[in-house]
């Protein structure tokens, strides 16, 4: 093969390669992302055109990929919120941004706007707004403990005699009962020693001893009820005097 033929053959091969591969498209046209990152340009190839992004992963943090009015994709700031729940500090969601509230209606049911922040609406402003047995505390109706709450009085082993300490405690209770029309259930208890029948009777004697003392102090008998639980409801568990002493007692249940 002479030199002329070899040159023609080589030129043909080069032409075939050029036809097969084609020339790189001119920006913003593209076949792949590589075509969009030349001559100082950056982007991704979307449907044959270089775009700023194809999805949110191509955008910086806090931005999202959105189609613009010209039909192209670009990274725009993402909305800070969709609903009030997306906002902290009592702010509300307005046009995708968390802002201070200006009216109760922006806060939703059960909330009110206080100094630019949504707060749970006050359930009450005074005790009269609440039901029976409740008080208004910091805008909420809460159950009120009956007056004259009383700690248990305790007894010596196998005894229903009132100690000096028990008498002093009952005198304070009587003073409160004179000022508050509540009723009291006197619950008699025993330690674990002895039969069930014996302890039920001893618990009743202890409750009755407390009742008699309160009646002698001027408390109406019909406001005092006695019941015995014997050894069924211990407050201390153990087989020693420390536990037994805690369980030999009369407890007080106050009701309005």
pLDDT for 24 equals 76
Rg, Å, the chain Cα set:
43
Reply yes or no on whether the pLDDT at 187 is more than 50.
yes
Closest CA to 245 of 156, 150, 152, 165: 156
- Going by pLDDT thresholds of 50, 70 and 90, the confidence category of residue 14 is very low
Pairing state of beta strands 63-67 and 73-77? antiparallel
Q: ∠ CA 214-218-223 to the nearest 5 degrees?
A: 65
Pairing state of beta strands 224-230 and 183-189? parallel
Q: Where are the domains of the chain?
A: 23-77, 84-143, 153-255
pLDDT tens by residue, 15-59: 444 444 557 789 999 999 999 999 888 899 999 999 999 999 999
Interatomic CA distance for residues 117 and 207, integer angstroms: 55
pLDDT for 241 equals 95
Closest CA to 205 of 221, 178, 186: 186
DSSP string covering the chain: --HHHHHHHHHHHHHHHHHHH-PPPPTTB-SSGGGGSSTT---EEETTEEES-SSGGGS-TTEEEEE-TTS-EEEEEPPS-SSGGG--TT-EEETTEEE---SGGGT-TTEEEETTEEEEPPS-SSGGGS-TTEEEETTEEEEPPPS---PPEE--TT--PPPHHHHHHHHHHHHHHHHS--EEEEEEE--S-S-HHHHHHHHHHHHHHHHHHHHHTT--GGGEEEEEEETSS-SS--SSHHHHHHHSEEEEEEE-
6-10, 70-74, 231-235: lowest mean pLDDT where? 6-10
Query: How far apart, in Å, are the Cα atoms of 225 and each of 52, 103, 197, 240, 254?
Result: 84, 55, 20, 31, 10
Interatomic CA distance for residues 86 and 98, integer angstroms: 8
- Mean pLDDT across the stretch 130-156? 87
Reply yes or no on whether the pLDDT at 13 is more than 80.
no
Phi, then psi, of 46 in degrees rounded to 5: -125, 110
Of all residues in the chain, the percent with pLDDT exceeding 70 is 91
Q: Are 148 and 186 in contact (CB under 8 A)?
A: no
- Mean pLDDT across the stretch 231-254? 95
Q: Are 160 and 198 in contact (CB under 8 A)?
A: no
CATH topology for the 153-255 domain: 60s Ribosomal Protein L30; Chain: A; (3.30.1330)
Q: Are 160 and 206 in contact (CB under 8 A)?
A: yes
């Amino acid at each position: 093969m002479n030199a002329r033929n070899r040159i023609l053959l080589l030129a043909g091969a080069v032409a075939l390669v050029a036809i097969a591969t084609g020339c790189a498209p001119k920006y913003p046209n593209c076949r792949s992302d590589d075509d969009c990152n030349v001559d100082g340009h950056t982007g991704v190839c979307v449907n044959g055109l270089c775009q700023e992004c194809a999805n949110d992963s191509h955008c910086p943090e806090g931005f999202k990929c959105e189609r613009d009015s010209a039909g192209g994709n670009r990274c725009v700031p993402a909305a800070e919120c969709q609903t009030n729940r997306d906002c902290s500090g009592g702010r509300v969601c307005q046009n995708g941004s968390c802002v201070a509230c200006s009216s109760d209606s922006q806060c939703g049911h059960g909330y009110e706007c206080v100094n630019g922040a949504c707060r749970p609406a006050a359930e009450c402003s005074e005790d009269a707004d609440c039901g029976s047995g409740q008080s208004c505390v910091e805008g909420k109706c809460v159950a009120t403990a009956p007056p004259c709450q009383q700690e248990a009085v305790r007894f010596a082993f196998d005894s229903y005699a009132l100690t000096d300490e028990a008498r002093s405690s009952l005198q304070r209770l009587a003073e409160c009962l004179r000022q508050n029309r509540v009723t009291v259930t006197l619950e008699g208890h025993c330690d674990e020693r002895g039969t069930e029948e014996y302890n039920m009777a001893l618990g009743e004697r202890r409750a009755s001893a407390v009742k008699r003392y309160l009646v002698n102090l001027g408390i109406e008998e019909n406001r005092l009820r006695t019941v015995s639980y014997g050894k069924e409801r211990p407050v201390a568990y153990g087989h020693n005097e420390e536990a037994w002493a805690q369980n030999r007692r009369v407890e007080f249940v106050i009701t309005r």
